[in-house]
Amino acid sequence: MYEFSLTDSVNNTIQDLCRQAGWTKVRRVMVKAGGLRKLNPELMAFIFAAIAQGTPAEGAVFSVMIMPVTLLCFSCGKVSSTDEPEKVCPLCGSSNVYVLSGNEFSIEALEVEINHD
């Protein structure tokens, strides 16, 4: 399952960060994903809730920001952005396009509890 491996790698990265920074509690996780990845945010949140059990991110709110797909069209010469997860120019319908963005995936934000003692 594609969502599982991506969510698993997010969870591993967060655990590494927590170890390095000494964070004991992660409250919120936001990831950013290009529309071409066709991810299911609800499924990812569900998987994350399961695999984060027993880690600092247990119970954290997990959200996925789906980013628009940006295409350069070789047929009409225009750059356009679309929420459709397809490599088709929304202006002229050509599939002769170059993908400028839409495949990205990254952790965008973390909200953690810092212990001041």
For tokens 């695999």, what's the residue?
A: 51
* Footprint (CB under 5 A) of Zn ion, residues 68-107: 73, 75-76, 89, 91-92, 94
Binding mask 26-65 for Zn ion (x = CB under 5 A): ----------------------------------------
Residues forming a β-bridge with 107 = 31
Q: Shortest distance, CB of residue 34 to Zn ion, whole angstroms?
A: 19
Tell me whether residue 30 or residue 92 sits nearer to Zn ion (CB atom): 92
DSSP reduced 3-state for 31: strand
What gap in Å lies between CA 6 and CA 78, rounded to an integer?
A: 32
Under rule CB under 5 A, how many of the chain's residues touch Zn ion? 7
Nearer to Zn ion, 59 or 93 (CB): 93
Judged by CB, which is closer to Zn ion: 95, or 106?
Answer: 95
Return the residue matching tokens 């698993």. Answer: 8
* Short-list 14, 30, 18, 28, CA closest to 115: 18
Please enumerate in sequence order all residues whose Cβ is within 8 A of that of 102, keeping only pairs 6 or more positions apart, or say none. 34, 35, 36, 37, 67, 68, 69, 70, 71, 85
Nearer Cβ to Zn ion, position 63 or 82?
Answer: 82
CB of 102: closest distance to Zn ion in angstroms?
Answer: 15
Query: Footprint of Zn ion on this chain (CB under 5 A)?
Result: 73, 75-76, 89, 91-92, 94
